Amino acid sequence: MERNIKDSQNFLHNTQLVNRLVGLSNISPDDLVYEIGPGKGIITCALLGHCRQVVAIEYDAELYKRLLEQLKSYKDLVLLNRDFLTIELPSEPYKIFSNIPFNLTADILSKVLTGDRAPDDMYLVMQLEAVYKYAGEPICQDSFKSLLFKPTYEIKVIHEFDKTDFSPSPNVSIVFAHFHKKEYCDIKKVPLIDYWDFLAFVFSAPGKFFKEKTKKIFSYEQQKRLRKQLEIHEEAFISEWTYKQWLAMFDVYSKMVSPEKKKLVIGAYSRLIAEQSKIEKLHRDRSKKY
C-alpha cells in the first residue's frame, strides 16, 4: 500500500527544544537507539553523540537521500530506506526516540509493544489523544489498549508542545510521551498472551455488565464472590473496571477456571485482531470508492 508519509508528519524545527528533549530522556552513551521517520534529521542530529548507535529508518526516498548526504560523515549512524513496519527489531536491548507519523501510531505501537523484542524505553512525539488510549488511569479512563500494555509498561507525558513548534502546525494537541518497560511484568507465572486472550475474550463477549461479560468463564458462585471481593457494581460498565480489578479477575481465571472453559478463551486476542483488520480493510476499500 502506497503511503505519503510527508503529508502525515509534522516536523519539529527548534534545535534547542529537541536537544532539551533528548536531555530529558534516560538515553546513555551505551544505548542502541532506533528512530522511526527521521524526516529532516533534527532528532537524529540531537541523538548522535548521546548514544552508542542510532538506527534511523526513513520510508520516504527523497528524505532518505537528503539525510544520506547530510549525515554521511557520522560513523555511529545506520540510515535505512525502509518501512519500519516490515523491519526485524533487534535481539539486543534498544530504545526508541521518534517523532512518528501520527496516522501510523497504532500500527507502530502494535508492532513494537506486541512483538518479542519490545524496547526498554520509548520516547515518542505523538498526539495527546493517542497517549490517552495507551496510558489510561490516572490520565484518563482505561481502555482495551491501555489494559493490554499496563502489565509491562508505564506511560507518562514529559512535555506538552506548542503548535508553533511544528511545521506544518498541527490542529491537534501534541505531547512528548515516555513508555518505560517495567523491571518485572505484573503478570507472573503464566505467559502474557494468556492475559491478552482473557482481556480480548471478555471485551468481545456479548452484554454490558460483569454478569453477562464473564458468564462463559466464571461460575455463578465465582461471579458472586468476585463482585463482592472486588466491589464491582452489578451495573458497572466494562470501561469502569479498574486495572487492579482486571488483574484480580485474571488471577482467579488462571488458578480456578477449568481447562475446558479456558479453551474458549485461548486465541481470543488473535481472533479480535484479525476481526479488527477485516473491518479496517473494509473501511479503506469503501473510502477508495468515494
The predicted-structure confidence for 51-97, as pLDDT tens digits, reads as follows 999 999 999 999 999 999 999 999 999 999 999 999 999 999 999 99
DSSP-derived 3-state class of residue 12: strand
Which of 181, 213, 244 terminates a domain? The answer is: 181
Residues 131 and 17 in one domain: yes
Residue type present at position 186: D
- The more confidently predicted of residues 288 and 159 is 159
Report the pLDDT value the prediction gives residue 105, as an integer from 0 to 100.
Answer: 94
Give the domain-ending residue among 181, 212, 238. Answer: 181
Average model confidence (pLDDT) across the chain? 92
Q: Are residues 87 and 164 in the same domain?
A: yes
| Burial annotation 91-115 (CB, 10 A radius, 16+ → b, else e) | eeebbbbbbbbbebbeebbebbbee
Same structural domain, 67 and 156 = yes
pLDDT at 176: 97
Question: Would you say residue 290 lies in a domain?
Answer: no
Q: Is 200 inside any structural domain?
A: yes
Residue 143 lies in domain = 5-181
Closest CA to 12 of 51, 41, 53: 41
Indicate the pLDDT class of residue 276, thresholds 50, 70 and 90: confident
The domain tally of the chain equals 2
In a domain, 289, yes or no: no
Contact 38, 56 (CB under 8 A): yes
Mean pLDDT of 180-200: 96
Residues 172, 126: Cα–Cα separation, whole Å? 10
Q: Is residue 186 part of a domain?
A: no
Res. 2: pLDDT tops 60: no
Residues 213, 134: one domain?
no
C-beta separation of 177 from 155 below 8 A: yes
Residues 261 and 157 in one domain: no
Contact status, residue 180 vs residue 172, Cβ threshold 8 Å = no
Q: What is the pLDDT of residues 203-238, one digit of tens each?
A: 999 999 999 999 999 999 999 999 999 999 988 999
Same domain, 169 and 215: no
In this structure, the answer to whether residues 239 and 210 fall within a common structural domain is yes
| Residues 260 and 132 both lie in one domain | no
Q: Does a structural domain hold residue 287?
A: no
Residues 224 and 131 in one domain: no
C-alpha cell at 94: 534498544
Note the pLDDT of residue 138: 87
Is residue 168 domain-shared with residue 196, that is, in the same domain?
no
Say if residue 164 is in the same domain as residue 91.
Answer: yes
N residues, the chain = 290
In a domain, 286, yes or no: no
pLDDT value for 6 = 47
Statement: residue 142 has pLDDT above 80? yes
Give 230-261 pLDDT, tens digit per residue.
999 988 999 999 999 999 999 999 999 999 99
The HSE-up count of residue 219 (CA atoms within 13 Å, CB side) is 7
pLDDT at 116: 84
Indicate the burial class of 287 (C-beta count within 10 angstroms; 0-12, 13-18, 19 or more): exposed
| Distance separating alpha carbons of residues 94 and 99, to the nearest angstrom | 17
Question: CATH number of the domain that 142 lies in?
Answer: 3.40.50.150
Query: Are 165 and 196 within one domain?
Result: no
Given 181, 205, 228, which residue is the final one in a domain? 181
Q: How many CA atoms lie within 13 A of 150 on its CB side?
A: 22
C-alpha to C-alpha distance for 261 and 14, rounded to whole angstroms: 56
Q: Is the pLDDT of residue 266 over 90?
A: yes
The predicted model gives 3-18 an average pLDDT of 77
Percent of the chain with pLDDT over 90: 86
Q: Could you tell me if residue 284 is inside a domain?
A: no
